[in-house]
Structure 1
Amino acid sequence: MAVLIDAIDVKRKTLFELENTPYACLEAEVTSPTARGAQTLVRLKMRNLLTSAVFEKTFKANDKFKEPDLQIVPASYLYSDGDGSHFLDQESYETLTLTDKMVGNALDFLIEGALIQLHKYNGNPIGLQLPIFVELDVVYAEPGSRGDSSSGSGTKLAKLETGLEIRVPLFIKDGEKVKVSTENREFAGRA
């Protein structure tokens, strides 16, 4: 029997199923009315894990949700082609293909062999989760000179091996490996 989750127990990052669709809670706000007999309401900001659509909806505190049949499996990135992006499930050694929509902008951070977490819903791949930081090689860094602080930040543009362009400190050179945050797409240090 599926586990049921009360709406009032849904917190940030909780996964739940509504109308046979998996969702992730982004924010939860409980409103307790002052009038007697009025019901406590829970306002959820949630992301549809199949379409990535984000919206808000209000539920009664005692509304129940099913726990989704979600699995997170380790996988490694193989390559991308016209059919989509291909990953190797590290447990079953099965090749799984995700559409461009499922992958989103994750290709900016993926090189061949990169390990990620693949999300499966009812046994089918629906998306992926990148690590917080990835290490990528700098293929081109603008020349920066010591007195180049006209922008005030002391950074320059660098192109990484995936094609992603980020701002890096002036001391970073071509061929260096840098650590990049996948959340804000910014330089996080040398690797």
Structure 2
Amino acid sequence: MVKVIASSLRKGHVVEQDNNLHVVLTAENVHPGKGNSVTNVTMRRMSDGVKVIGRWRTVEMVEKADVDEREYQFLYHDAEGYHFMDPASYEQIAVSEDIVGDQGSFLTDGMLVYLKTFEGVAIAIELPARVTLEIVETEPVVKGQTASSSFKPATLNNGVKTMVPPHIGVGTRVVVMTEDASYVERAKD
């Protein structure tokens, strides 16, 4: 365990509070006009999965556990969860649905991701910031329409819905952000 300042807490960090280990889900530093700045943290208790709210002054010291962060390769998904392999040791690890969450729809065979583990148990996953996917359903392209500030709904080949410019049609490969499925650009391949 290492003591760190509360304002430095981020998603995926593991902290000790009340003799229990907690995984940080969200951390927000609040600076009110009057009074002390505080750090509001939503955490999941590792022992039973219960969500807990933590609140510290930003200058308080918090016990942070040492977390192993390594690159893993996605293999497959089944009833046990999502399965990943360490490319260096070929060791496999299963990650539960609640840790992967909505990000599971962006996982593709062989994709390299960063897994944070604590004592051999996966606690957080970090996908690449952008992925390239294909549009499978959208409104037809209107001739003469150019990229303007308007967007239309589209469904990607992983089932996720996004908004794309009007000149993008079915079969077009696009780059989207994994964080919120927002359109970035047309794929260059």
TM value normalised by structure 1: 0.76
Report if aligned partners of 2:99, 2:125 keep a CA contact under 8 Å in 1.
yes
Distance between the aligned counterparts of 2:58 and 2:150, measured in 1?
Answer: 52
Over 3 Å counting, the alpha-carbon distance change for 1:23 and 1:42 in structure 2 is: farther
How far 1:28 moved relative to its partner? 2.8
Distance between the aligned counterparts of 1:12 and 1:127, measured in 2?
Answer: 14
Report if aligned partners of 1:73, 1:91 keep a CA contact under 8 Å in 2.
no
Q: Tell me the equivalent position of 1:3.
A: 2
Distance between the aligned counterparts of 1:169 and 1:163, measured in 2?
Answer: 18
Q: Tell me the equivalent position of 2:115.
A: 118
How far 1:148 moved relative to its partner? 7.4
Q: Tell me the equivalent position of 2:167.
A: 171
How far 1:29 moved relative to its partner? 4.3
- Secondary structure of 1:106's counterpart equals helix
Over 3 Å counting, the alpha-carbon distance change for 1:61 and 1:172 in structure 2 is: closer
Q: Tell me the equivalent position of 1:187.
A: 183
Distance between the aligned counterparts of 2:62 and 2:78, measured in 1?
Answer: 38
Identity %: 27
Report if aligned partners of 1:156, 1:170 keep a CA contact under 8 Å in 2.
yes
Matched, 1:91 2:92: no
How far 1:68 moved relative to its partner? 1.0
Q: Tell me the equivalent position of 1:142.
A: 139
Q: Tell me the equivalent position of 1:158.
A: 154
1:2-51: CA deviation from partner (whole Å, max 9, x where unpaired): 432244xx3353835123324446223478x98xxxxxx66321132555
- Secondary structure of 1:140's counterpart equals strand
Q: Tell me the equivalent position of 1:57.
A: 55
- Secondary structure of 1:74's counterpart equals strand
Report if aligned partners of 1:30, 1:43 keep a CA contact under 8 Å in 2.
yes
Q: Which runs of 5+ in 1 are unaligned?
A: 35-40
Distance between the aligned counterparts of 1:55 and 1:47, measured in 2?
Answer: 5
Distance between the aligned counterparts of 1:156 and 1:67, measured in 2?
Answer: 44
Distance between the aligned counterparts of 1:115 and 1:129, measured in 2?
Answer: 10
C-alpha RMSD of the superposition: 3.2
Q: Tell me the equivalent position of 1:48.
A: 43
Q: Which runs of 5+ in 2 are unaligned?
A: none
Structure 1 range deviating more: 21-30 or 129-138: 21-30
Q: How many matched pairs?
A: 179
Report if aligned partners of 2:16, 2:64 keep a CA contact under 8 Å in 1.
no
